[in-house]
Amino acid sequence: MADIASHETPSTSGKPIEKKNNDKKQTVLEKHGYALGKTIGNGSYATVRIANSNRHERQVAVKIVSKFHAPGDYLKKFLPREIEVVKGLKHPNLIRFLQAIETTHRVYIIMEYAPNGSLLDMIRRDTYIDERRSRRWFKQVLNGVEYCHNHGVVHRDIKCENLLMDQNLNLKLSDFGFARGQMIPKDGIPLLSETYCGSYAYASPEILRGIPYQPQLSDIWSVGIVLYAMVYGRLPFDDKHLAQLLKQVQSKVTFPKVPKVSYACRALISRILVPQRLRVKIRDIHEDNWVVDPVVSVQTSSTTRSFERFSDEIPKSSITEGEETTMDRMVHFKEQVQRTQGDR
């Protein structure tokens, strides 16, 4: 009986056709000076591989999107929007877009390669991040997000999985699959978004409620979740059930007793994880006492294990973790929001 997991069709030479397709992929990229290396991420319709670039004289990451497997809406709307958005962004705390190549069957997105994994990887390795490193990385995230907002771009999917580490352990924001441009306020009036996207655990109350929201303020909420995740090694809200999550995010955020985190850091988190009308702006976060003053961390050793850590149930990135795709998560999010609204 044939292996049910194998769907390769042998050719007359005895080699699977898939190998020929891989050769074609490599040939297309080689014409542009890229030599494909190992795979570092898989999704239902995209793969991420490392490549050596003659043109850039360094390693790069190549996101390979299959036109046969990707949803039509993604190919017609979201992928072009993502490419258009990232083309205009250049900041030390953003993964840099280098080139896009389109063929009959695939789209190749060439990006800066971050060799040291994600912030989530770092948290899982160290249990939690001490305040000294958390402050440094938080500032980097804040700078990248502020740059995006100043250029009219909202990310809408900020989370630990989408914050990557370069060779110098600097954080860079990646994955602009949910991003949207041209969101600069008009006549001082912020533009609202009605696309309910992202990951539950990092989503703001207004997104979970399914109401029009200011995406810049929603990004700030997600940045606050990232800070909490760094210093505590866990997420502040349980995202297993959307209805319960919605109740939690509309309540005052609570803090575990361990690890010990400074009052200044907890106060900042409390200024961020509040209703939209009360949420602190980025310019005010830059002036916050914890951000400005490099106080000595009061956290205990990372060997302390008596508190909840990240689990494998945390939402994972569509490409790097091989879970739901961007479109799958968007549809699922809409369905869950609508279902929760029906329960009220």
Q: What is the pLDDT of residue 21?
A: 53
Q: Residue 174: is it exposed, middle or buried by C-beta count within 10 angstroms (0-12/13-18/19+)?
A: buried
Per-residue pLDDT at 293 = 81
Give the model confidence (pLDDT) of 89-138 as tens digits.
999 999 999 999 999 999 999 999 999 999 999 999 999 999 999 999 99
Output 106 or 22, whichever has higher pLDDT: 106
Summarize the confidence of residues 235-261 as an average pLDDT: 88
Give mean pLDDT, residues 168-197.
88
Check pLDDT > 50 for residue 14.
no
pLDDT of 18 higher than 60: no
Q: What is the pLDDT of residues 129-178, one digit of tens each?
A: 999 999 999 999 999 999 999 999 999 999 999 999 999 999 999 999 88
Which carries the bigger pLDDT value, residue 303 or residue 286? 286
- Predicted pLDDT at 239: 82
Among residues 157, 175, 219, 239, which one is catalytic?
Answer: 157
pLDDT band at 58 (very low <50, low <70, confident <90, very high): very high
Q: Which of 97-111, 196-210, 296-310 has the highest mean pLDDT?
A: 97-111
State the pLDDT confidence band at 24, using cuts at 50, 70 and 90. low
Confidence of residue 194 (pLDDT cuts 50, 70, 90): confident
Average pLDDT of the residues in 261-287: 96
Residues 66-95 pLDDT 10s: 999 999 988 998 899 999 999 999 999 999
Q: Which residues are annotated as a binding site for ATP?
A: 63
Q: What pLDDT is stored for residue 337 in this prediction?
A: 52
45-73: average pLDDT: 93
Answer for the pair 216, 154: CB distance below 8 angstroms, yes or no: yes
User: What residue numbers does the annotated binding site cover?
Assistant: 63
Tell which wins on pLDDT, 338 or 209: 209
- The whole-number average pLDDT for the span 328-340 is 50
pTM value surpassing 0.85 = no
Buried b / exposed e over 298-329, threshold 16 CB at 10 Å, is ebeeeeeeeeeebeeebbbbbbbbebbbbbbb
256: Cα within 13 Å, side-chain hemisphere: 21
- Average confidence (pLDDT) over 282-287: 97
Is the predicted pLDDT of residue 52 greater than 90, yes or no?
A: yes
pLDDT category of residue 340 using cuts at 50, 70 and 90: very low
Please enumerate in sequence order all residues whose Cβ is within 8 A of that of 133, keeping only pairs 6 or more positions apart, or say none.
Answer: 230
Q: Mean pLDDT in the chain?
A: 82
Residues 6+ apart with CB under 8 A from 59: 37, 50, 51, 52, 53, 113, 115
157 in active site? yes
pLDDT score at 97: 96
How confident is the model at residue 91, as a pLDDT? 98
The proportion of the chain whose per-residue pLDDT surpasses 70, expressed as a percent, equals 78
Confidence band of 295 (pLDDT split at 50, 70, 90): low
Which residue segments constitute the domains of the chain, with CATH numbers given? 20-112 (3.30.200.20), 119-343 (1.10.510.10)
**pLDDT band of 42, cuts 50, 70, 90:** confident
